[in-house]
């Protein structure tokens, strides 16, 4: 198990490196070889056995010296391969170079040209599969985890910065009204871009708080809610209106928004919030939850604060979480923090195939989550009161790769075994919620219920655009934001063309 | 904030409230509900049926029984005060048809409230409506006059015989099923056990029976799956697929055990809240 070192110690080490390499303010002429030799800066974090019992953020963030040193590792590659790995194309070498010269505000501005949610992305993006995967330094070290820690630098800049200058540069009003369905990363991004272009933007949100999955799904210990609300406040300062407790498809349909309420265009970013179950015996027993329910109770409804919150949480001793993605890691680590004595991740492939961010898998292991790999539940066992008392599982082995290129898990016959468990959490992914599409037959969807859009984000319904998880299927924050930017451009173009008399 | 336009106490722990919610009033239909929340940060989301509405006035009516933390807190609110959050209308509206034989609507206890708009809608569609209302005693009967006015026939039952027949609602229901003009359809809303036995009563007569399920909910939009029930061979989400289902297919036993998921926590929580309230009072009187 990793020993966590004191942030102060890590910072002192960084200071030493800074002195040794002679990195005073503004001066920066290291050779590539020297840069490559600088060790990657370790992220200060709470000690595993302590953090496993609190909701405070796990990773504490780089200190200033660490950022200077880490930024100095960047080779400033001319072709900047890292940028190609970023779904919104942030000028990565640009912002890192600015950071290395202590120009933190300027660095943040460079990021904000492409991304309005750096404090969120710096924490939750799967960097090792995106920018860091293509980073030259990682290639040299033959390990994407050893690339420049781009996200950690981004996080520092976002937390450090007070500048929101790019958010302020607002165009004169166009008199056009745009409605946005959902306040997740995708809706927020589109809202920011459109407001900056001078459109009158209103977000409709079903819940009582804005942020989508970032407030109801991703736990406080990974992404503090105060960070999301700060981003939302910035947006409101731009003039974006947010109407809460408003369910499109029920309170109003999309058609009504356009015909009755006079919206010129609508952006649908309602996410992919329909939990999948496994259709196995015992799935409706008391003690079986979708990760969505479990996480919504703890995050959005604050059930972790037992003295104050009115929403109850099931009390669990032995928990099994089914799945291997971020959602599974979040549910498992939350259950541990809520007082469970033993938490298992039950996943039918191996750790190499787990879709979760590497850092989360590592953190989960450190905190004492038990990984039952190559294992899948076949039924859930109940007691005489209809409550979960255990699960029956089958063992798997990896077979030949399927169309997706991943090894196909195959059942080992006769490998059934039972585990004593009192709570099951299914984290098998989400499919698209049919509430909006079901009440808007004009919207064309594919066989999974995802809305089909063209290259500008426009749907089959005139003036209606869509993006984020409802288009991509359960994806990532940054992809949802990328879609939001494309749609904002598409909507702006559509509204500008509409304005021209024919 | 959603303003409370009117508040009325209907029985010892049942209250009626008229809320200012114009958008919901415009789109709501019989059988739908709202989810409300009393506090931004620490409140709980609870579902309540829309018992009535007035589009012109922009109001909806809820009728609720104070059974636990949130409904108690709600019952203490006054006219003119505001409720933090009200989301709706939720759920699939009741399927209202015109039948040639009567429609029987059965309401048990607080279930009479959600039944009210359904009786209204069946009546408006030109049906002959027979209403059966049941309660433990006469003081717990709600909406009696309203139901009497709407229904072609009203049968009242109480457990103790303090008003109407001394019987369970299933007794007159059975008689109606056995009569010369058996009901074309039965709608039963009330405690789960009552709905279960109403369904069992009509089953031998093959009279289609609709029940409205009151499972535990969180979001009410199909996102959490917490409200799921087994109906026939499949799993359904009460908040979006329901709340109304074919009573002959609902697995009531599993539904009832799921509803008791948090019994212990609610009890313990309630004690803690009461203790907290007492502390406040004590703290207030000390110099
Ligand atoms: C537990 C969990 C952990 C995750 N971890 C990561 C991670 O580490 N890194 C990462 O990149 N991604 C992660 N993801 C995925 C990521 O959060 C999503 O891809 C992203 O949030 C999608 O953004 P979105 O804007 O499309 O939708 P969402 O974030 O889902 O937002 C949709 C919003 O629309 C609202 N809404 C829905 N229907 C309606 C309606 N009819 N009317 C009005 N409002 C409506 C919802 O309430 C919600 O607020 C995680 C997801 C989960 C569930
Ligand atoms: C679609 C739907 C429509 C509803 N309509 C109405 C209505 O019109 N009027 C009304 O009074 N109630 C209605 N209910 C029930 C109402 O939601 C609950 O009474 C309420 O959630 C209790 O909240 P609480 O915090 O006050 O009590 P809690 O502290 O949550 O619970 C107190 C006690 O009530 C029980 N309880 C908890 N949830 C429910 C539930 N859903 N149904 C029955 N008992 C429960 C618990 O087991 C506990 O013992 C409806 C429920 C649903 C799902
Ligand atoms: S690829 Fe890596 S080293 Fe090269 S510019 Fe990008 S972050 Fe810097
Ligand atoms: S209440 Fe969450 S899915 Fe129905």
Question: Where a domain ends, among A372, A404, A429?
Answer: A429
A146 and A289 part of one domain: no
A410 and A449 part of one domain: no
Q: Over the stretch A139-173, which tens digit does the pLDDT of each residue have? A: 999 999 999 999 999 999 999 876 454 555 678 88
- Give the A-side interface with B, CB within 8 Å: 206-208, 244-247, 250-252, 273-275, 277, 279, 283-287, 289-290, 292-293, 296-297, 301-302, 305, 307-315, 385-387, 433-435
In this prediction, what percent of chain B has a pLDDT beyond 70?
93
- Is the CB of B219 less than 8 angstroms away from the CB of A277? no
Give ipTM to 2 decimals.
0.89
pLDDT, chain B, mean: 90
Is B284 a residue whose pLDDT tops 90? no
Q: Which residues line ligand 2 (CB under 6 A)?
A: B 33, 44, 46-49, 63-65, 67-71, 110, 113-114, 214-217, 243, 259-260, 263, 266
- Strand, coil or helix: A180: strand
- Is the CB of B221 less than 8 angstroms away from the CB of A247? yes
Pocket lining: A494 vs ligand 1, CB cutoff 6 Å: no
Asked whether residue A365 is assigned to any structural domain, the reply reads: yes
A185 and A149 part of one domain: no
> What does the pLDDT average to over A41-59?
92
A48 and A131 part of one domain: yes
CA of A147 to the centre of ligand 3 (A): 8
CA of B84 to the centre of ligand 1 (A): 24
Pocket lining: A468 vs ligand 1, CB cutoff 6 Å: yes
Is B56 a residue whose pLDDT tops 70? yes
In this prediction, what percent of chain A has a pLDDT beyond 90?
72
Asked whether residue A351 is assigned to any structural domain, the reply reads: yes
Cα→Cα distances A334→A328, A364, A394, Å:
10, 10, 26
Number of domains in chain A: 3
Cβ proximity of A391 and A424 under 8 Å: yes
Which tokens belong to A135?
A: 């980073």
Q: How wide is the angle at C-alpha A78 spanned by C-alphas A76 and A84, nearest 5°?
A: 90
- Is the CB of A312 less than 8 angstroms away from the CB of B262? yes
Distance of alpha carbon A481 from alpha carbon B213, whole angstroms: 39
Ramachandran angles phi, psi of B101, nearest 5°: -105, 170
A381: Cβ–Cβ under 8 A, 6 or more apart, which residues? A282, A388, A389, A390, A391, A392, A418
Question: Where a domain ends, among A429, A453, A487?
Answer: A429
Which tokens belong to A213?
A: 């999955």
Is A1 a residue whose pLDDT tops 80? no
Is B283 a residue whose pLDDT tops 60? no
Is B255 a residue whose pLDDT tops 50? yes
Beta-bridge partner residues of A178:
A201, A265
Is residue B198 part of an annotated ligand binding site? no
A278 and A266 part of one domain: no
Residue-range domains of chain B with CATH: 2-90 (2.40.30.10), 103-259 (3.40.50.80)
Question: Where a domain ends, among A160, A189, A208?
Answer: A160
Run of H or E including A424: strand A423-426
> What does the pLDDT average to over A410-431?
93
Which residue of A245, A312, A434 is in closest CB contact with B266? A312
- The mean-pLDDT minimum among A21-25, A360-364, B228-232, B279-283 falls in B279-283
Task: Find the CATH number of the domain harbouring A182.
Answer: 3.50.50.60
Asked whether residue A214 is assigned to any structural domain, the reply reads: yes
Pocket lining: A38 vs ligand 3, CB cutoff 6 Å: no
- Summary count for chain B: helices (H), strands (E): 9, 17
Distance of alpha carbon A75 from alpha carbon B65, whole angstroms: 67
- The predicted structure's pLDDT at residue A165: 46
Atom of ligand 2 nearest to the CA of A310: 25
Which tokens belong to A104?
A: 């933190």
Pocket lining: B252 vs ligand 4, CB cutoff 6 Å: no
A339 and A255 part of one domain: no
- Within 8 A of B254 by CB-CB distance, chain A residues are 284-285, 386
Break chain B down into helix, strand, coil percent, rounded to 5.
35, 30, 35
Asked whether residue A168 is assigned to any structural domain, the reply reads: no
Distance of alpha carbon B219 from alpha carbon B87, whole angstroms: 9
**Ligand that comes closest to the CA of residue B218:** 4
Is A35 a residue whose pLDDT tops 70? yes
- Is the CB of B86 less than 8 angstroms away from the CB of A302? no
> What does the pLDDT average to over A196-217?
95
Asked whether residue A166 is assigned to any structural domain, the reply reads: no
Reported confidence tier of residue A459, pLDDT bands at 50, 70, 90: very high
Asked whether residue A203 is assigned to any structural domain, the reply reads: yes
CA of B15 to the centre of ligand 2 (A): 14
- Strand, coil or helix: A217: coil
- The predicted structure's pLDDT at residue A6: 79
Pocket lining: B237 vs ligand 4, CB cutoff 6 Å: yes
pLDDT, chain A, mean: 91
Cα A299 to chain centroid distance, Å, stands at 15
- The mean-pLDDT minimum among A9-23, A93-107, A284-298, A349-363 falls in A9-23
Distance of alpha carbon A138 from alpha carbon A149, whole angstroms: 10
- Is the CB of B235 less than 8 angstroms away from the CB of A284? yes
The residue among A179, A183, A244, A245 with the most chain B CBs within 10 A of its CB, best to mutate, is: A245
Asked whether residue A169 is assigned to any structural domain, the reply reads: no
- The predicted structure's pLDDT at residue A401: 84
Reported confidence tier of residue A22, pLDDT bands at 50, 70, 90: confident
Q: Which residue has the higher pLDDT, A54 or A6?
A: A54
Range of the domain at A254: 177-272+432-496
Q: Over the stretch B136-180, which tens digit does the pLDDT of each residue have? A: 998 889 999 999 999 999 999 999 989 989 989 999 999 999 999
- The mean-pLDDT minimum among A93-97, A304-308, B89-93, B241-245 falls in A304-308
Specify the DSSP class assigned to residue A458: B
- The predicted structure's pLDDT at residue A26: 59
A14 and A156 part of one domain: yes
Q: How wide is the angle at C-alpha A48 spanned by C-alphas A42 and A52, nearest 5°?
A: 135
- The predicted structure's pLDDT at residue A23: 74
- The predicted structure's pLDDT at residue A411: 93
> What does the pLDDT average to over A383-393?
94
- Is the CB of A297 less than 8 angstroms away from the CB of B218? yes
Cα→Cα distances B48→A433, B81, B89, Å:
23, 19, 10
Run of H or E including A106: helix A104-112
A28 and A154 part of one domain: yes
A200 and A75 part of one domain: no
Which tokens belong to A329?
A: 């890691």
Asked whether residue A48 is assigned to any structural domain, the reply reads: yes
Cβ proximity of A171 and A197 under 8 Å: yes
- The predicted structure's pLDDT at residue A293: 95
Which of A65, A25, A23 shows the shortest CA–CA distance to A44? A65
What is the residue with the minimal CA distance to atom 10 of ligand 2? Answer: B64
Distance of alpha carbon B194 from alpha carbon B183, whole angstroms: 18
pTM (2 d.p.): 0.92
Is A233 a residue whose pLDDT tops 60? yes
Is A231 a residue whose pLDDT tops 90? no
> What is the edge-to-edge ordering of all strands in the sheet holding A464-466?
A241-243, A200-204, A177-181, A265-268, A464-466
- DSSP per position, A313-372: ----SEEEEE--SHHHHHHHHHHHHTT-SEEEEE-SS-GGG--S-HHHHHHHHHHT-EEE
> What does the pLDDT average to over A52-59?
92
- Is the CB of A287 less than 8 angstroms away from the CB of B70? no
Task: Find the CATH number of the domain harbouring A51.
Answer: 1.10.1060.10
Closest-CA residue of A relative to B35 is A245
A292 and A411 part of one domain: yes
Q: Over the stretch B67-101, which tens digit does the pLDDT of each residue have? A: 888 999 999 999 999 999 999 999 999 999 999 99
A441 and A363 part of one domain: no
Q: Over the stretch B81-90, which tens digit does the pLDDT of each residue have? A: 999 999 999 9
Distance of alpha carbon B23 from alpha carbon A252, whole angstroms: 8
Q: How wide is the angle at C-alpha A455 spanned by C-alphas A94 and A173, nearest 5°?
A: 70
Is A409 a residue whose pLDDT tops 50? yes
Is A424 a residue whose pLDDT tops 60? yes
A278 and A424 part of one domain: yes
> What does the pLDDT average to over A92-103?
94
Pocket lining: A77 vs ligand 3, CB cutoff 6 Å: yes
A416: Cβ–Cβ under 8 A, 6 or more apart, which residues? A378, A392, A393, A394
A266: Cβ–Cβ under 8 A, 6 or more apart, which residues? A178, A179, A180, A181, A254, A257, A258, A463, A464, A465
Is B22 a residue whose pLDDT tops 60? yes
């Amino acid at each position: 198990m990793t020993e966590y070192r004191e942030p102060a110690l890590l910072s002192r080490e960084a200071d030493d490196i800074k002195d040794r390499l002679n990195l005073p303010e503004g001066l920066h002429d290291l050779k590539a070889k020297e840069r490559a030799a600088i060790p990657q800066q370790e992220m200060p974090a709470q000690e595993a056995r302590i953090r496993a019992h609190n909701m405070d953020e796990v990773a504490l963030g780089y200190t200033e010296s660490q950022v200077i040193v880490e930024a100095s590792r960047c080779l400033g590659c001319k072709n900047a391969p890292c940028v190609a790995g970023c779904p919104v194309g942030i000028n990565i070498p640009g912002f890192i170079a600015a950071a290395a010269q202590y120009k933190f505000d300027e660095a943040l501005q460079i990021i904000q040209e492409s991304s309005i949610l750096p404090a969120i992305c710096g924490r939750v993006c799967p960097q090792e599969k995106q920018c860091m995967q293509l980073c030259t330094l990682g290639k040299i070290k033959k390990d994407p985890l050893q690339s420049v820690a781009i996200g950690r630098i981004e996080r520092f800049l976002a937390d450090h910065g007070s500048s929101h200058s790019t958010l302020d540069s607002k165009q004169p009003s166009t008199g056009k009204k745009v409605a946005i369905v959902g306040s997740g990363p995708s809706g927020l991004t589109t809202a920011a871009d459109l407001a900056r272009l001078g459109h009158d933007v209103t977000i409709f949100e079903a819940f009582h708080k804005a942020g989508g999955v970032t407030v109801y799904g991703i736990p406080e210990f990974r992404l503090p809610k105060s960070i999301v609300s700060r981003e939302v406040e910035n947006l409101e300062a731009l003039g974006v209106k947010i109407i809460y407790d408003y369910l499109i498809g029920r309170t109003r349909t999309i058609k009504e928004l356009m015909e009755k309420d006079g919206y010129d265009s609508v952006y649908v970013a309602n996410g992919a919030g329909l939990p999948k179950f496994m259709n196995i015996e015992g799935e409706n027993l008391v003690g079986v939850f979708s990760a969505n329910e479990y996480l919504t109770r703890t995050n959005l409804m604050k059930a972790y604060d037992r003295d104050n919150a009115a929403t109850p949480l099931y009390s669990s001793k032995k928990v099994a979480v089914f799945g291997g993605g971020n959602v599974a890691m979040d549910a498992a680590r939350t259950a541990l923090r809520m007082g469970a004595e033993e938490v298992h991740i039950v996943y039918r492939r191996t750790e190499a195939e787990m879709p979760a961010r590497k850092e989360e898998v590592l953190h989960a292991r450190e905190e004492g989550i038990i990984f039952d790999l190559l294992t899948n539940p076949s039924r859930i066992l109940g007691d005489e009161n209809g409550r979960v008392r255990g699960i029956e599982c089958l063992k798997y082995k990896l077979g030949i790769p399927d169309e997706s290129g991943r090894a196909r898990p195959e059942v080992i016959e006769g490998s059934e075994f039972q585990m004593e468990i009192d709570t099951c959490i299914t984290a098998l992914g989400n499919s698209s919620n049919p509430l909006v599409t079901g009440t808007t037959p004009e919207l064309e969807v594919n066989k999974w219920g995802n809305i089909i859009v063209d290259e500008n984000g426009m749907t089959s319904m005139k003036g209606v655009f869509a993006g984020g998880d409802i288009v991509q299927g359960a994806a990532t924050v940054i992809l949802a934001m990328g879609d939001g930017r494309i749609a904002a451009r598409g909507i702006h173009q559509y509204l500008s063309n509409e304005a021209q008399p024919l | 904030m959603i303003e409370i336009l009117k508040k009325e106490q209907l029985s010892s722990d049942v209250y009626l409230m008229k809320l200012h919610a114009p958008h919901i009033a415009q789109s709501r239909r019989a059988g739908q509900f709202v989810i409300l929340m009393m506090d931004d940060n620490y409140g709980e989301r609870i579902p309540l049926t829309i018992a009535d509405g007035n589009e012109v006035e922009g109001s909806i009516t809820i009728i609720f029984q104070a059974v636990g933390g949130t409904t108690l807190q709600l019952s203490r609110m006054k006219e003119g005060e505001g409720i933090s959050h009200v989301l709706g209308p939720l759920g699939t509206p009741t399927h209202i048809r015109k039948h040639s034989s009567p429609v029987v609507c059965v309401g048990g206890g607080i279930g009479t409230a959600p039944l009210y708009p359904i009786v209204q809608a069946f009546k408006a569609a030109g049906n002959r409506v027979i209403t059966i209302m049941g309660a433990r005693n006469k003081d717990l009967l709600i909406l009696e006059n309203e139901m009497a006015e709407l229904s072609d026939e009203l049968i009242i039952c109480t457990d103790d015989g303090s008003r109407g027949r001394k019987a369970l609602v299933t007794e007159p229901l059975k008689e109606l099923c056995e009569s010369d003009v058996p009901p074309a359809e039965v709608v039963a809303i009330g405690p789960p056990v009552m709905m279960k036995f109403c369904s069992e009563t009509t089953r031998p007569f093959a009279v289609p029976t609709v029940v409205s399920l009151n499972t535990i909910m969180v979001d009410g939009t199909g996102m959490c799956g917490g409200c799921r029930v087994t109906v026939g061979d499949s799993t359904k989400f009460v908040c979006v697929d329901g709340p109304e289902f074919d009573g002959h297919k609902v697995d009531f036993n599993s539904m009832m055990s799921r509803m008791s998921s948090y019994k212990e926590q609610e009890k313990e929580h309630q004690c803690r809240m009461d203790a907290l309230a007492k502390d406040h009072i004590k703290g207030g009187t000390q110099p």
